[in-house]
Amino acid sequence: MPAADGDVPSPDELVDFSTDGSQGVGPGAGSPEPRPMGPSDSVPIFRTDLKIDKGANAGLFEVTDPVSGRHFTLYEFELSIARMLDGRRHASDVIENGVRLGIPIDLDGLYKFVRQLWRYGFLAPPGVEPVPEGDEENGWPDREKWDEATRTLFQTALRLIRQGRPHDAESYFHAVLDADPDNAEALEYLAAIERGEAVPASPIGLRAPGRAGSSAAGGRRKLVLALAAVAALAVASVGYSLVKRTAQRPAAPAPVALPAPPKPPPPPVAWRTAAVQQREHPPLGELTASDAGIVIWKKAAGVAVKEGEKIGILRTDPRRPGAKARDRVLAAPETGVLALAAAANARVASGAPLASVVDDRIWIVDAFVDGKPPAADAVCELRGDAVADRVACRLDSARPAEGGSQLMLTVKADEAPWLEKSRSLRVRIAPAGTPPEP
């Protein structure tokens, strides 16, 4: 079927549906043919009733339609993009998240990929409600919940593999195993790297010959290439005949020199996306145990306290046998919000951290970006889950780190009320003077 823009799809996009015997399910049967998208257009919905199984090799997944029995093999990075098609995100969000995770993708590639999924009937029909925010896993196989540090390490390793740097990724997978020795996914990827099977991400929507796909598409591809070869031979034959006929004709006059074409405009500024690793309020004062004993709190974590205010007691152990324990008052070291480092009724050693008072008006954010550290005056923007969740930030420091650069930046809490609960925080960096992205 011709593409929406009138061009014939490339051989990698052609799919033969006549071999699986299904009826009533196919291109256009469930949803209209996708149209090219703009950055602010909502993406279609990738069906959540599809069955997803791991393939024979690491990084491959088999997606099966339980209704038609049709199946398609996707690479891990392609499945990652497919799972972002929830009907709620904008095309620009999917592209930005993909680039942040090391997946080459642009608007044209996203459109071609969506059209491939549509040809297999993998997109939800019109009228299906978008996946509610916070319920993205509904309908998908259960996945183990990881803490933020483990997830960041694993995502960094995947990004390095997708960039064609599998051996750099090994240390991050080992770091995951240090915290979780039985992590099956980290073990699987390490084994794949050792076998040389770790596949870098190719541009979304453009598969190289021999990449994962359906057997039907492979047969159709061979047919198209064979027809192209026959056509090339025919053209060559006609050309040879024309050369013989015109061999005796006088030489044509020399062509008139044309002015040089204008220089192309400079490329757009490349924004870089950094993955957020940690967010916290800066401490104003620390409180440590003056002696060994048991901590008894009078104030709860998260409440506002004033400097010198009683927040608890430290019941110290008696010095001599038979003596009574002594209660020492614990006072707030500064004015701010209380954060507890020791649990209530916990036994602590002398010098152990007990609590701190933090400034809840400020957020300190740590992030990691590929490449060299940005300049101190770089444009900095922090983004959250929703398109409207964005705020300018101040880059406090940037230093080289293994595989990229470690950033620390400051954001005012009242300018980003969504920051604390956001699950997909990322930082955008560009050279000084760059105007904000639309």
Mean pLDDT over residues 374-390, rounded? 88
Q: Does 28 share its domain with 160?
A: no
CATH number of the domain enclosing 320: 2.40.50.100
Give the confidence band of 244 by pLDDT, cuts at 50, 70, 90.
Answer: very low
Within 281-423, strands assigned E span 283-288, 293-297, 304-305, 310-316, 326-331, 336-340, 347-348, 353-358, 362-370, 379-383, 390-392, 394-401, 404-412
Q: Is residue 244 part of a domain?
A: no
80 pLDDT exceeds 50?
yes
Give the confidence band of 307 by pLDDT, cuts at 50, 70, 90.
Answer: very high
Q: For residue 235, what pLDDT is reported?
A: 44
Q: Is residue 111 part of a domain?
A: yes
Q: Is residue 140 part of a domain?
A: no
Q: Does 166 share its domain with 38?
A: no
Domain boundary among 295, 324, 358: 358
Burial of 391 (0-12, 13-18, 19+ CB in 10 A): middle
Q: Is residue 243 part of a domain?
A: no
Which of 29-33, 202-206, 218-222, 373-377 is least confident? 218-222
Contact by Cβ (8 Å): 379, 430: yes
Q: Does 346 share its domain with 391?
A: no
Q: For residue 23, what pLDDT is reported?
A: 37
**What b-and-e string marks burial along 303-337, b requiring 16 or more CB atoms within 10 Å of the CB?**
eebeeeeebbbbbbeeeeeeeeeeeeebebbbebb
Q: Does 217 share its domain with 287?
A: no
Q: Is residue 19 part of a domain?
A: yes
Q: For residue 234, what pLDDT is reported?
A: 46
> When comparing pLDDT for 110 and 7, which is higher?
110
Q: Does 226 share its domain with 181?
A: no
Q: Does 93 share its domain with 161?
A: no
Q: Is residue 262 part of a domain?
A: no
Q: For residue 415, what pLDDT is reported?
A: 92
What are the pLDDT digits (tens) for 247-277? 454 555 555 555 666 666 555 557 888 878 8
180 pLDDT exceeds 50?
yes
Give the confidence band of 243 by pLDDT, cuts at 50, 70, 90.
Answer: very low
Give the confidence band of 162 by pLDDT, cuts at 50, 70, 90.
Answer: confident
Considering its fold, how many domains does the chain have in total? Answer: 4
Which of 164-168, 206-210, 217-221 is least confident? 217-221
Q: For residue 417, what pLDDT is reported?
A: 92
| pTM reported for the whole predicted model | 0.45
Q: For tokens 């047919």, what's the residue?
A: 223
140 pLDDT exceeds 60?
no
Q: For residue 105, what pLDDT is reported?
A: 87
Strands lying side by side in the sheet with 379-383: 390-392, 379-383, 426-430, 272-280, 362-370, 404-412, 394-401
CA distances 245 to 232, 250, 252, 259, Å, are 20, 12, 15, 33
Mean pLDDT over residues 274-288, rounded? 88
> When comparing pLDDT for 288 and 257, which is higher?
288
Q: For residue 138, what pLDDT is reported?
A: 40
160 pLDDT exceeds 90?
no
Range of the domain at 416: 272-280+362-430
What are the pLDDT digits (tens) for 316-375? 877 667 667 788 899 999 999 999 989 999 999 989 999 999 999 999 999 888 888 999
Q: Does 349 share its domain with 290?
A: yes
Q: Does 19 share its domain with 119?
A: yes
CA distances 135 to 47, 77, 412, Å, are 14, 21, 29
> When comparing pLDDT for 14 and 385, which is higher?
385
SS3 at position 427:
strand
Mean pLDDT over residues 25-33, rounded? 61
Q: For residue 330, what pLDDT is reported?
A: 94
Q: Is residue 239 part of a domain?
A: no
Q: What percentage of residues in the chain have a pLDDT greater than 90?
A: 21
Give the confidence band of 416 by pLDDT, cuts at 50, 70, 90.
Answer: very high
Q: Does 12 share its domain with 122?
A: yes
Q: Does 210 share its domain with 78?
A: yes
Q: Does 213 share its domain with 80?
A: yes
131 pLDDT exceeds 60?
yes
Average pLDDT, the chain: 77
Q: For residue 97, what pLDDT is reported?
A: 85
Domain boundary among 358, 376, 395: 358
Q: Does 124 share its domain with 48?
A: yes
